[in-house]
Each structure stands twice: as C-alpha cells, then as structure tokens.
Amino acid sequence: MKRKRESSFSTRQWKYEVFLSFKGDTRYNFTDHLYAALKQKGIITFRDEEELERGEYISELFKAIEESQIAIIILSKNYASSKWCLIELAKIIKCREEMGLIVLPIFYDVDPSNVREQTGTFKQTFIDYQKCGDNIKVETWRTALKEVANIAGYHLQNKHESEFIQHVVNEMVEKLSYKSSSISKNLIGIESTLKIFIPSYLGFENNVCMIGIYGMGDLGKPTLARAIYDEFRNHFEGSSFIANVREDKKKKGLPDLQQQLLEDILKEKNIHVRNVYDGVTKIKSRLHSKKVLLVIDDVDHLEQLEQLAGRHDWFRLGSWIIITTRDERVLIQHEVHNRYNPNVLKNDDALKLFCLKAFKNEQPKKDFMELSQEVVKYANGLPLALVTLGSFLFRRTKDEWQSALPSFKNTKGEIFNILKISYDGLEEMWKEIFLDIACFFRYRKKNEVIYIYIYI
C-alpha cells in the first residue's frame, strides 16, 4: 500500500516544493534565514505570512500542505504552545501517511527526546491543554509529536546556524527532483540528448563555461535549453532564463532584458536600468562574485550577447552561460568555443512524439500505423512540425487522415506559418539560396546540391 501512495505522490502536480511549519519565536531569525536560503536556491517555499491573506481559513493552510512535496517542521521549545502549530502538525503527519508527503524535522535548540516524551517545556504545555478538556485533540497532538520525533531529521546542537542552514538547503536540493514534469512524456529525445550534451560541461568549476546551441528553427533549441535549466538551476547561486531575445528586443529593448536578468539572479524587485551602459555596469559589478546559470535564448546579433553576457569575468568561476541562436556566426564572433548543433529526432522518437499529440499515447491506434509513419516521414524529424501535425489530427477519423495527408505538402495553415518563421529570419542572400533549392533542386540529394552550388 505504501508503494502505491509513493507512486501517486510522485506523479502529482505540486504548487510548492517545501512547506515550512514553525512557531512565531523563530519567525524573524532561524526560519527567516532558512526561508531566504531556500528561495536563493530557487526552491518554491510556502511560509504562512508570505502566502496566506488575512481572513483566510485554516483550510487554505491544509491545502498548501497537500500541495507541497516536503514539509520541514522547525521544532523549537515553544512549538507546542501554539494550537495552530499542533493542528498543522497533525495534518502534516496525516498527509505523510496517506499521500507520502516527505516530512523532515529540525530540532531547534530542543532535544528530540523532549519532543518524543513531551518533557521539558512540552510537559507543562500539555498539562494546560488537558485542563481545558478535549482529550481527543490532545492525544492526537501527542501522537503527532511522537511520530515526528521518530523521523530522522536535523538537530541544531552547538553548530553555527549559517552552516547548519546551508547543509539543510543542500539536502533539499538533493531530495527534490528538478526535472521538468514533462521531460519523460512531452520532451521526447531530450533525455538522451542531455546524456550526451551535459557530461562534456560538468566539472567546469575553474572556468566560466559559455555554451552555444545553434541551428535552424524547429530543432527544439529552446526546449533543450529549458531542460538543462530546469535540471541544473539549483546547483547555482542564481539563475535566469531570458527567452525570445530576438523578439523581446523589439518589444522591450535590451535595458529591460538586462533588468530581468538582474532581478532573476539577485532575487530583487524594482532594479532600475537606465540604459544599456548602465545595465552592463550593474551586471558586471553585482554578478561577478556569483556562480550563475544564465540562458540567453534566440539571439540574432552580437550586441545582444555583448550587453547581456559580454565577458567571462562578468560572472564567478563555475558559471554556465547557455546561448541559443540560428546563426552560428554570432557564437563564433563572441568566441563561444563550446558549440552544439542538435539533430532532428530519430524515427522512433519522432513517432513517439507525434503519437503523444495525435493519440495521447506513445503508440498509434490500431490501423493507424502506416498513416502515422507517413506523417512522421513528412515532418522529417522536426519536433515543432510533429507537434503541430499531431495536434491537428487528434480525434480525427481514418478517412479524415487520408484526406488530410495529400494537402500537407501544400498546406497554408499553422505549420506553414510556424516554419515560415525560420525563413523570415534568414538574411536576403540565404533566402534566395533557400528558394533556389526549393524550386529547382527538388528530389536531389543534399551532397549533389552542395557540389552544384560550390563548383558550378
């Protein structure tokens, strides 16, 4: 039965990664420092004063517990003197038993045996509760305290608080799974790519590593960058994902993107960047001592890199700067030596991705295998094309599939518009070459076309 609960727990969608339960006597010292350290690591943490509006009921608190992966209980000497803390604790223990909630106690200036046996300050507190009656609640609270005291946790005893908190936070990073919940299901081919891509760049503690991911549109470059970001961001002191730089530069301007970068990494609001030169100065001065993970997505001009991540010495050793672009020359100009060109999806992965969109399953329905393979062949391993076509064919009949297939080659619908973005992003010379190949070299082999263009 326990295995079933854990399986259900692991597949649920969570709003919070950590729920903090504590008495007010630690709110402005230990708990506040722990909360800040968790946030610094990007761990989504619930603390009642941050999340509950005045007038909300205990049911909202219970809901937050149910929507958390881990509950950290800070057991101070006066923890049991709060009925709200004990009600909260009983709910946490119940969720542990019924839902597989991970519970981690911190014994703050109190011995676990005092909590387990309800001695010391806990003894008088429960004597007072019993005088007030309602023995059923009191026994529930006693049982909850005994159970939490028997859980292996953390004991702050003759230790520096800052070191102790850092140890707890590092443990949280290890316990929590930072893989995107959709990697195994929706990001087909990403895990295998990560296994090839990432080991090459691990262990760069003595350098700032700039990594370029380049290639034509629709190869899934932002998806790969996002997967790396989600997987590793909590190994850094700060992180930022600056998406769609090419488009956002037109809408917002580079100072706004510089401001976003600073606010994300420093966890501060209302940082004002007056102009690009002010932004460069602030990034260099405030981030040079931080180990960061920064993704700069869809770059098309060198100046964007120069003003967002101009030099290695802008950041602390061990930082990763990941850049996605359609134009490898931008990476070469910026002296990004670690460059990676993603391949299209292999046939098995392409079919799996298409089927997830067309059938909500990794395999096609009966009698749809040949039709599915024909669509996959047409999409040529391009992830965005597979997703678009799969979504279009979802819940359509076999006759509708057969009618739609011939029209795909001449489609003017969504996939045409999506793939046209890649064409529009080309310089005029490359547009002309593209059209020449599309119009005059249909069905010719790649190497033959290259030979004609170079030598004839």
Q: What is the set of active-site residues?
A: 88
176: Cβ contacts below 8 Å, ≥ 6 apart: 17, 43, 69, 70, 234
- Measured distance CA(105)–CA(112) in Å, rounded: 9
Strands 292-299 and 320-325: parallel
Helix (H) or strand (E) holding 289: none
Q: In terms of Cα–Cα distance, which of 35, 91, 84 is closest to 65?
A: 91
Helix (H) or strand (E) holding 389: helix 383-393
Helix (H) or strand (E) holding 304: helix 302-308
Cα dihedral 223→224→229→232 (10° resolution): 140
- Measured distance CA(335)–CA(211) in Å, rounded: 10
Which residues face 299 on adjacent strands? 325
Q: Which residue in the block uniquely carries the two structure tokens 């007010």?
A: 24
For 100-218, where are the alpha helices, taking DSSP H only? 112-117, 121-131, 135-149, 161-175, 190-197
- Measured distance CA(123)–CA(126) in Å, rounded: 6
254: Cβ contacts below 8 Å, ≥ 6 apart: 276, 279, 303, 304, 307, 308
CA distances from 239 to 39, 125, 278, 292, 321 (A): 12, 45, 21, 5, 10
